[in-house]
Amino acid sequence: MRAITLNLGYPGPTGGKLAEMLIQVADLKPDFLGVQGAKGWEKANAPFPYGGQVFHTAEETLNMRGYLVPSAHDGHHLVGFVGEAVRVVGQDHEVGSPFWHGVVCLDLRMGDHDFRGVVTQAAPDSPRLREIEAEALAEKVKVERVVMLGGWNAVPTSHPGGGPRRKNDVAAARALEEVNLLDAATEVGNATPTVLTPMPYQSDRVYFKGLTVKTVQIVGVGSKHAAAVVDFAIPTQSGAA
């Protein structure tokens, strides 16, 4: 099962640049995709080479079904996309406090196995609020299997240190790890940055539990943020990976 998290950045790509980016993401063939910063995607007839609403055009380009949760701030909406092999069996989204943006929360089924798919984007500048958000996310992971896709706006616990205080902050990452979520890139030893400013670090990360990570790739697709691409092993009927 392939999961990808992608932050479109600020102010976000439009027109031909966005179309090209979506084609590149489609070529990566995700089963579960989380997009942060989907600014303007909710508007009918938003400018786009193919015409029509950006959200629906993204669904067609990706050949995936999307679930858009409006952001409580700045119009940087969140979208969870699922591929043809994945069924949505439940939804429990969040908008507003305590989350700066919101949370896409989908109960998913792939083959005979269920997992919870979460997409979020942490507060951009407040370490204290990011920690509160992470503590609140603990309520979303009280299931056996979780894949959480996020733009975290702060470093992982594996970061060597240094940099601006508001980014060199691991409180939120520690709160996620306290509820048994693992950082996929850290698990396989991939420290490739997903952003370069205000310092190189992995802002875009995939957390999980109840699954086994096979590979993690950091792939540039034309955004200011590289995409984190994680392949998971799905247990077989007997329980072996």
| Alpha helix ranges (H) inside the chain | 15-27, 54-62, 127-137, 171-178, 184-188
Per-residue pLDDT band for 47 (boundaries 50, 70, 90) equals: very low
What's the pTM value of the predicted model, to 2 decimals?
0.93
| Residue 164 falls inside a structural domain | yes
| Residue 239 falls inside a structural domain | no
Distance CA 108, CA 101 (A): 22
Residue listed under structure tokens 């309520």: 139
Per-residue pLDDT band for 241 (boundaries 50, 70, 90) equals: very low
Tell me the one-letter amino acid at 66: G
Per-residue pLDDT band for 45 (boundaries 50, 70, 90) equals: low
| Residue 28 falls inside a structural domain | yes
| Residue 238 falls inside a structural domain | no
Mean pLDDT across 92-113:
94
Per-residue pLDDT band for 9 (boundaries 50, 70, 90) equals: confident
Tokens of 135: 């503590």
| Residue 126 falls inside a structural domain | yes
Distance CA 68, CA 98 (A): 19
Q: Please state the φ and ψ torsions of residue 156, each to the nearest 5 degrees.
A: -75, 170
What pLDDT shows up at residue 11? 67
Mean pLDDT across 91-116:
95
Q: How many domains does the chain have?
A: 1
What CATH number is associated with residue 158? 3.60.10.10
Structure confidence by residue, pLDDT tens digits, 155-213: 999 999 888 999 999 999 999 999 999 999 999 999 999 999 899 999 999 999 999 99
Mean pLDDT across 119-143:
96
**155 is in which domain, residue-wise?**
2-233
| Residue 170 falls inside a structural domain | yes
